[in-house]
Amino acid sequence: MATQQQVLKIYNSLSGKKETFAPIHQNHVGMYVCGPTVYSNVHLGNCRTFISFDLVYRYLKFLGYKVRYVRNITDAGHLENDADSGEDRIAKKARLEAIEPMEVVQRYTVDFHQTLRAFNTLPPSIEPTATGHIVEQIEIIKQIVDKGFAYEVNGSIYFDVSTFNKTHDYGKLSGRKLEDMIHNTRELEGQSDKKNPQDFALWKKAEPQHIMRWPSPWSDGFPGWHLECTAMSTKYLGDQFDIHGGGMDLKFPHHECEIAQSEAFSGQTPVNYWMHANMLTLNGQKMAKSTGNNILPNEIFSGNNEILSQAFEPAVVRFFMLQAHYRSILDFSNDALAASEKGYRKLMEALKACDSISSSDKTTNFDIDAWKQSCFDAMNDDFNSPILIAKLFDAVKFVYLIRDGKATVSEKDLKSLTACLHNFVFDVLGLESTQKSSNDQTLSGVVSMLISLRNEARDRKDFATSDRIRDELAALGIALKDGKEGTTFSI
């Protein structure tokens, strides 16, 4: 599908409204997404953000755009309280476990990649690390200092928010006013190096006990957390690029500070479309590592947890997440996952049924072309995956009507319907069929044998045996469906 045939609208957090997407360079998209801080296992709330932007990446590619997708790894500079005090999260983990910080980084980067592979996310085009771009960060700091937007105190460099706000609008992304922030801020002990509490660190002088440090013109130290994303996004996407994404919790201060840094050193607004994925809640509370209110993906896949009644496959969990719009809060529960599993199975069974149904001279009761465009319309409306899924289930109903002899489809429309279903289910939503294991094949063989025995019983008019086979399979969760082309089953 050529890009010019579809009009995509994206909700821009900067303007607070949906805007027609127009890339800076025709048919090319630059997208940056804030990646994980690799000091612990990635939890499900993090995964929702990366699955949301995997959907965005997939759909842009599906429309025909050439996308450069950059997602960073934070392996230094992220302090405990997301501000400018406390211990580096990775260094703290290394100290507690008596290992090297880069051992911590390696362990949890591997976990992050394995988990996202399980969820069938596409890898980014570039995955840079903060420690791999110290030189670039130091150069940006030099430029910001030279332009008068930062100052040095005792070997640390701080961004001067008040000076910046005289000629720029600090707070425009989050909707905050600097005057209100100053009024509502109490001076915190330990922040006396700053001119104002709103100022943030571009470079921090390392205390003697701080094990992650690099030389700079100001001190042996480490870069501020906000700075790394500015350095890596501009290096690989330019001073201005199309899309910047991340979790809703990063809007302030992280993304607000990114905008200020970029405008200060380049003089340009860095991003045209800011996108923010909403949170995943558990027990009505935000899922977070810091509070312990979280569940790890592997605990879901294995069933080794105290929350769920059974194990759930990665594809089912991904489907569960995509049933909510990326900007909506989604609450995680056993009942919601169980319902998603039923829907996922039904969708996969319909795709399988497409291979066995027969075509006719004409299509009845379904406008294939209108349905296809409705799928595009859903995704064109700010990547509205729940509406897309609803449209896919309209096609599922039609497939079952054909199978049951209650509707017909032409050969041309059947091919078009099947291709479109495959495109949106597998290429856009990124779902995987899990009906390929040896256990599935064995189950299919056993049920097929029982269907044959039931058919033989019906031929002999032994309806008691026929009904018993049907009812006992139903009690096991296997439903038989008698149709014009024979008996099929679903789980």
pLDDT in tens, 46-71: 999 999 999 999 999 999 999 999 99
The beta strand positions in 132-208, using DSSP E, are: 150-153, 156-159, 200-205
pLDDT of 82 over the 90 cut = no
**Does the N-terminal peptide bond of residue 208 adopt cis geometry, omega within 30 degrees of 0?**
no
Contact call for residues 458 and 89 (beta carbons, < 8 A): no
pLDDT digits (tens, 9 = 90+) for 342-351: 999 999 999 9
Token duo for residue 280: 């995943």
Q: Does 341 score more than 90 pLDDT?
A: yes
Other beta carbons less than 10 A from residue 247's beta carbon: 22
CB 47 within 8 A of CB 115: yes
CA distance 84 to 191: 8
What does the mean pLDDT of the chain come to? 91
Does the domain spanning 282-428 belong to CATH 1.10.730? yes
Q: Which phi and psi angles does 409 have, rounded to 5°?
A: -145, 140
* 55, amino acid identity: L
Third-level CATH fold of 3-277:
Rossmann fold (3.40.50)
Which tokens is 218 given?
A: 């100001």
Half-sphere exposure of 225 (CA within 13 A, CB side): 25
Beta-bridge partner residues of 487: 482
Q: Can you tell me which residue has the tokens 């109903």?
A: 397
Residue 436: the pLDDT is 46
Structure tokens at 235: 């290096």
Instruction: Tell me which residue has tokens 């005289």.
Output: 166
Tell me the mean pLDDT in the region 394-413. Answer: 95
* pLDDT over 70 percentage in the chain: 94
Residue 86 gets the label, from left (phi > 0), alpha (psi -120 to 50) or beta, of left
Q: Is the pLDDT of residue 287 over 50?
A: yes
**470 has a pLDDT exceeding 80:** yes
Q: How far is CA 316 from the centre of its chain?
A: 15
Q: Evaluate if pTM is beyond 0.75.
A: yes
What digits encode the pLDDT tens for the residues 185-222?
655 444 468 999 999 999 999 988 888 999 999 999 99
Residue 116 in tokens: 């996202």
Q: Return the pLDDT at 458.
A: 86
All structural domains of the chain with their residue ranges? 3-277, 282-428, 438-490
Amino acid at the residue 272 = N
Q: What angle do CA 241, 244, 246 make, to 5 degrees?
A: 165
Q: Which of 315, 246, 342 is nearest to 13 (CA)?
A: 246
Question: Residue 87: which pLDDT band, with cuts at 50, 70 and 90?
Answer: confident
